[in-house]
Amino acid sequence: MSVSSEDLFGQILGLGEDWEVHQTEYVEEKNTIFIRVRETASLLSSQRCREDKRYKVKLYDHAPSRFWRHLNVFNRECVIECALPRLQCKHCGKVWRAKAPWEGKCKGLSSEFEAFALTLMKEMPVKSAGKILGENDHRLWRVLRAYVEEAKEALDFESVTRVGSDELSYRKGHKYLTVFADMKEKRVLFATKGKGKDTWEAFSDELLKRNGHPHAITHAAIDMSPSYQSGVRNNCRNARIVFDRFHVMKLIGDRVDEVRQAENRRGTTDAKKQLKKTMWLWRKNPENLTEPQRMHFDRIDHDCLWTSKAYQMRLALRNIYNQVPYESWARRRLQSWCHWVRKTAAKAPHLFASPMLRAAESIEKHQDGILAFWGSGRMTTAYLEGLNSVFSAVKRKARGFRNPDNLITMLYFVAGKIDILKNKQATH
């Protein structure tokens, strides 16, 4: 038994009874296979009025031909062409356009094509997926946005009680997104432009929209920016602010870096010599140094460097986090840490004293939020820390993303734990 190419394509497309391929054509100059589809008589008997299922329909007319990019066949672009019928209710006279089974969520794309595009985008940057598919990335972003927006409708924030937020800088010149994450479920919940206190208002609105509540938030892990603090206080009145371990350590790390830079400029000749090419040695933790870095670090004459002193203080603070199990104990250790810093700074030159005194002041001023780390049962911050690698992955995949909304879409796609393709099957 021989099968015509029309029948074959009809089967591949999964057209069923209501549609048939009536012509296929390879257009060489476009390197494209056109699959021309039309409705069969059974479409009219299988459809009912959209207002009242009891009433039958008749053919009203055909809309102008439309085209849907489909999956390639034998490495040729493949396009479905169809003049979709418009149906009319025999009873009420209403007219509507029939929906075809291959239609995707985006104009001009079949749902199979969209599913394949999503699979590629999961694995690689949007631009690379565009090259493989021979589509411009505008169109692929549109596909991604359509699916993410639909999947977001299924999100439920009812059990969200512990959140962390962090800023993601996406363009030089201080362009930021604030990203909110569920610390228990380890997923991105929401992201919005800016890094002011109004980002918390937007987040609260989102919680309410998705079956959650801002007053249900018990812990909010944030960095020490005053705007986030007032954002939490104004919106989540039951939340204890937790100054995240990761952000506290980053703040101290930045002060150590300031000491290094100042000593590199204004320190003794010997100190400047010692500090050459050492930036990363101080930024890393000792166990993360590579073998050559460790050897370099051991050769440094630490007694002659204020930078070493500051670094030692950073490690001491880190030890408090690593070793101390209770809040009351942590309070004493933090106080004695600040005392040590102040005593040392009193005898130290400005290049050390200025940054490190500021560090001690920050610790004292934010003591309650810092201690909340212990009070919250050492609220796990690994996820917030990990969020930074998520951000890098998102930026890499979204390279040339054109606008921040695309970046937010990619955040959901990568880290929102939304099941896009499952959602797709559920709607077909």
CB nearer Zn ion, residue 25 or residue 51: 51
Q: Which of 81, 89, 99 is nearest to 32 (CA)?
A: 81
Closest approach, Cβ 91 to Zn ion, in A, equals 5
CB nearer Zn ion, residue 52 or residue 149: 52
Closest approach, Cβ 66 to Zn ion, in A, equals 25
Rounded Cα gap, residues 145 and 412, in angstroms: 10
For the chain, the three-class secondary structure string (H helix, E strand, C coil) is CCCCHHHHHHHHHCCCCCEEEEEEEEEHHHCEEEEEEEECHHHHHHCECCCCCCCEEEEEEECCCEEEEEEEECCEEEEEEECCEEEEECCCCCEEECCCCCECCCCCEEHHHHHHHHHHHHHCCHHHHHHHHCCCHHHHHHHHHHHHHHHHCCCCCCCCCEEEEEEEEEECCCEEEEEEEECCCCEEEEEEECCCCHHHHHHHHHHHHCCCCHHHCCEEEECCCHHHHHHHHHHCCCCEEEECHHHHHHHHHHHHHHHHHHHHHHCCHHHHHHHCCCHHHHHCCHHHCCHHHHHHHHHCCHHHCHHHHHHHHHHHHHHHHHHCCCHHHHHHHHHHHHHHHHHHHHCCCHHHHHHHHHHHHHHHHCHHHHHHHHHCCCCCCHHHHHHHHHHHHHHHHCCCCCCHHHHHHHHHHHHCCCCHHHHHHHCC
Among positions 52-71, residues that touch Zn ion (CB under 5 A) are 55
Closest approach, Cβ 57 to Zn ion, in A, equals 8
CB nearer Zn ion, residue 89 or residue 189: 89
Mark the segment that binds Zn ion (CB under 5 A) among 84-92, 132-140, 221-229, 338-346.
Answer: 84-92
Mark the segment that binds Zn ion (CB under 5 A) among 17-25, 43-51, 282-290, 350-358.
Answer: 43-51
Closest approach, Cβ 427 to Zn ion, in A, equals 24
Rounded Cα gap, residues 218 and 224, in angstroms: 18
CB nearer Zn ion, residue 53 or residue 277: 53
CB nearer Zn ion, residue 47 or residue 161: 47
| Tokens, residue 152 | 């977001």
How many of the chain's residues bind Zn ion (CB under 5 A)? 6
Mark the segment that binds Zn ion (CB under 5 A) among 47-55, 113-121, 160-168, 357-365.
Answer: 47-55
With CB under 5 A as the contact rule, the residue among 15, 43, 49, 118 that binds Zn ion is 49
Which residue bears the tokens 């986090």? 321
Mark the segment that binds Zn ion (CB under 5 A) among 73-81, 86-94, 163-171, 237-245.
Answer: 86-94
Closest approach, Cβ 88 to Zn ion, in A, equals 9
CB nearer Zn ion, residue 55 or residue 116: 55
Beta bridge partners of 169: 176
Closest approach, Cβ 82 to Zn ion, in A, equals 24
Is residue 234 within 8 A of residue 180, CB to CB? The reply is no
Mark the segment that binds Zn ion (CB under 5 A) among 7-15, 41-49, 98-106, 282-290.
Answer: 41-49
Give the pairing type, strands 240-243 and 219-222: parallel
Beta bridge partners of 59: 87
Among positions 202-241, residues that touch Zn ion (CB under 5 A) are none
CB nearer Zn ion, residue 50 or residue 265: 50
Closest approach, Cβ 46 to Zn ion, in A, equals 16
Mark the segment that binds Zn ion (CB under 5 A) among 17-25, 88-96, 180-188, 354-362.
Answer: 88-96
With CB under 5 A as the contact rule, the residue among 22, 56, 58, 91 that binds Zn ion is 91
Closest approach, Cβ 53 to Zn ion, in A, equals 9
CB nearer Zn ion, residue 49 or residue 126: 49
Closest approach, Cβ 47 to Zn ion, in A, equals 11
Mark the segment that binds Zn ion (CB under 5 A) among 8-16, 89-97, 108-116, 356-364.
Answer: 89-97
CB nearer Zn ion, residue 26 or residue 55: 55
Closest approach, Cβ 52 to Zn ion, in A, equals 5
89 belongs to the binding site for Zn ion (CB under 5 A)? yes
Chain positions contacting Zn ion, by CB under 5 A: 49, 51, 55, 89, 91-92
